[in-house]
Amino acid sequence: MSKLAKGWKKEEIASLCQKPQYGYTSKSENRQNNNPKYFRTTDITKEKFDWDSVPYCIAPVKNEERYLIRKGDIFITRAGSVGENILIKDTPPRAVFASYLIRIKSLDRISNLYLSYYFQSPFFWNYIAEKKDGITTPNVNAQKLANIEVPYPESKGEQNLIIEEIETQFTHLDAAVKFLNAVKKKLDVYRNGVLKAAFKGELTKLQGGLVDRTLSEEFEIIMGQSPKSKYYNKSGEGLPFFQGKKEFSKLYPKIETWSTKASKIAGKGDVLLSIRAPIGSVNIAPSKCGIGRGLAAIKPNEKTRSKLIFYLLQILRNELKKKGTGTTFKAITKPNLYSLSIKLPKTKKDRGLLLKKIEFHFSVIGKIEQAVDSALLKSEQLRKSILKSAFEGRLVKYEGGSHD
C-alpha cells in the first residue's frame, strides 16, 4: 500500500478491536427447539444469507451469553472458505456462532461498517492468501487476524464519507450486475426457444417436412454397463470410461477414469445421455470410450450428425425425466428410452440445413453472452478498484466539518 493519506493512521486489528474470539462447538438440527440458533461457516458462504435457514443448537449452550451474536459483530471464517466474512447489520435473533468462525468487534475509533468493507478489499484478501496455512483444509487463526494492519482516517466524518461513497458506487454496480444477469437468463430462454422452434419445423423451411419416429427407429442405442471397480484405473490403461453426469461439461465429458474391462463401447461422436438421476443431461463422446450404467449412447447415422441429436435430446429433457422410474433414484429403462417419441426433418439435406440454422442462432447468442460475461468481469474488477481507492484515501476528498 502507498504512503498514508493526510490524517490517516494504520493500526493492527489487535489495537482497533476487542480480542478476536472463537465460536462455540455444537451439533445442530433444523427442528425448532428452545436453544439458540447456530450460525455457521456455511451460512456466511451462502449467496443470500437468511436467518430462517440457520439451524438450532441441539443442546443448551454453556456460557451462552459469551457467544451470543449482536448487531455490529463481524464474523470471519477461519477454515475451508478462509476469509469469507459478514457484518451483522441488524439486530439478530437469539443465536450463537460456531467454532470455525472468529468474531471481530470494533472499538469506538473505527466504524464497524468501514472495517467490514476493508475485509472485502484486495488488501485483506492478499493478506489472507499470504497467511493461510494448510493444503487440504486451508485455515487462519485469530492471532493472524489480529495482526492485520488497517489504514483508516482518524476522523469518523471521513470514515462515514468513504462508506457513503462506497455504497453509492456499489448501488450503481449492483443495478448493472442485476441487469446483466437478467440478460443471461433471457439468453437461456432464447436458446430454448430456438430449439423448440427447430424441432417443430418453425425455424427454417423444410422441403420434406418432419417425420414422427421413436428414438430406436431412427438411431442405434447402446445401454451402458459398469464393470467391477477393480477394473477401473486413473493411469490411462484401457479405454476412457464414463459413469454418468458427474463427468459431463458443456459439450465433452472430462476423462478422469479408464477401464480395462469396459463391455459397452461408445464411438467418437456418439451422444452420451444420462439415464440415471439426474436424467436427461447430454454430452458428446470425445473418442472411443466405455460407458457405465448411468449412460446410454445414441449413434449418429448417415443422415444425422451428432450435434443435431445433441440438440434434439436437450429439448426432450422434460420428456426423458417423465419416463424415469424408481423411488429412490430415478432411471430410464431400456423400453422407455427406445420408445421415446421424436420429430426430425425427413431428409438428410433438411437435417443439415436445420443444424446450420440452430448453430447460426447459437453463435449470435454466444457472442452476446461473451459480451455480458466480459461486462460482469469488469464490474467485479471495478468493485475491487473502488475498495482499493477507498483504503488508499483516494475515493473521497475530505475537508472536515459537520461529519466529525
Q: Per-10-residue mean pLDDT for the chain, 404 residues long?
A: 86 97 97 97 86 97 97 95 95 97 96 97 96 81 96 96 98 98 97 97 95 98 97 97 96 98 98 96 98 98 98 96 87 97 97 98 98 98 98 90 45
What per-residue confidence (pLDDT) applies to 319?
95
Query: CA 367 to CA 94: how far, in whole Å?
Result: 50
CA distances from 279 to 131, 194, 215, 244, 266 (A): 44, 22, 16, 10, 19
Name residue 58's amino acid. Answer: I
Q: In this structure, are residues 86 and 75 in contact, taking their beta carbons and an 8 Å threshold?
A: yes
Q: Which of 300, 243, 249, 247 is nearest to 276 (CA)?
A: 243
Same domain, 90 and 167: no
Question: What domain range is 19 assigned to?
Answer: 8-152
**End position of a domain, from candidates 345, 362, 390:** 345
- Tally Cβ neighbours within 10 Å of residue 318: 10
> Which pLDDT value is given to residue 312?
98
Per-residue pLDDT at 132: 87
Separation in Å, CA 26 to CA 40, 80, 151, 215, 261: 10, 18, 36, 54, 47
- Asked if residue 118 belongs to a domain, the reply is yes
Indicate the number of domains in the chain. Answer: 3
The distance from CA 262 to its chain's CA centroid, rounded to whole angstroms, is 33
- Predicted pLDDT of residue 134: 76
Of 152, 180, 196, the last residue of a domain is 152
- The pLDDT assigned to 48 comes to 81
Say yes or no: 13 and 137 in one domain: yes
Q: Is residue 2 part of a domain?
A: no
The CATH number given to whatever domain includes residue 29 is 3.90.220.20
pLDDT at residue 404, as a whole number: 46
Q: What is the pLDDT of residue 45?
A: 80
Would 3 be classed as within a structural domain? no
Residue 201 and residue 281 in one domain:
no
Read off the pTM.
Answer: 0.83
Q: Is residue 398 part of a domain?
A: yes
Would you say 74 and 87 are in contact if contact means Cβ atoms under 8 Å apart? yes
Pair (235, 162) in one structural domain:
no
